[in-house]
Amino acid sequence: MNPQPLTTPDASAALRGCTNARIALGRAGASLPTRAWLDFKAAHAAAKDAVHVTLEVECMCEAITSLGYEVLACDSSAPDRHAYLRAPELGRQLDRASRTRLAEASANTNQIDLAIIVTDGLSASAAHTNAVSVLSALLPLLHADSWKIGPICVARLGRVALQDEIGSVLNAQMALILIGERPGLAVSDSLGAYMVYDPKPGNTDANRSCISNIHGHGLAPEQAAEDIHLSLTELRRRRFSGVSSQVTSNQQTHVSTERPH
């Protein structure tokens, strides 16, 4: 006779191995098993920590400078992290000193093709972990295509819309911001890349195109760089970004199918 197994086989183990989502965790009485509960608490703590981590601006500037590009540190109008979290609009605009410094940097230059910004957003950990890796793969691709890139800005306490003011002050045709995304219970260091054509105050999220979930267990930084390069190239060709670029694409496709040969 075959001996009886000492434990019951876990039929969901293979399924859990395919995703970071919390599925089929089991139960102990009316609650979760101890391991699942402790994993949840650890993930929740990591997400909370990510929101409050401070961006290491000096280290970030040094790392980007080592790639061979000019870097400018700047600040949003949020005076501190507490105010930044409570008043999102403060992170969408530069403080006066930073605006003046960027205006001076662009005073003697013609229009640039692209302004690049790195900021903390809601996860400085994402910027620390992934931003330089994305830039180290992206910048050579842009250089090979003769993109004219302005000084790369490392911004403290920035929101996505900060790219509009920075891009406008630098007189850029387009702006790209690499920003820490809102942490979740599966990933706390996910980076987002938002692109906008004709950056200017008053743009909304409908004017932006986005590539998200850039992290070690999602979209790898090297692959993200290729995707960003392709997106920037196409958006510049269309002269639109966001919802408008999709509408334009659909209209062009429709016209081309109806055009007589």
Judged against a pLDDT cut of 60, whether residue 146 lies above it is answered with yes
Judged against a pLDDT cut of 60, whether residue 136 lies above it is answered with yes
Q: Which residue has the higher pLDDT, 15 or 53?
A: 53
For CA atoms 164, 168, 172, 178, the dihedral sign is negative
17 assigned to some structural domain: no
Domain span at 77: 55-249
221 assigned to some structural domain: yes
Chain mean pLDDT for the chain:
88
2 assigned to some structural domain: no
19 assigned to some structural domain: no
Judged against a pLDDT cut of 60, whether residue 260 lies above it is answered with no
CATH number of the domain that 183 lies in? 3.40.50.11240
Judged against a pLDDT cut of 70, whether residue 75 lies above it is answered with yes
97 assigned to some structural domain: yes
148 assigned to some structural domain: yes
pTM assigned to the model: 0.84
Residue 246 pLDDT grade (very low, low, confident, very high; cuts 50, 70, 90): low
99 assigned to some structural domain: yes
DSSP 22-87: ------BTTB--HHHHHHHHHHHHHHHHHHHPPP-HHHHHHHHHTTT--EEEEEBS--SHHHHHH-
CA dist list (Å): 145 to 138, 139, 140, 149, 232: 11, 10, 9, 11, 11
State the total domains in the chain.
Answer: 1
Average pLDDT over residues 34-59: 90
63 assigned to some structural domain: yes
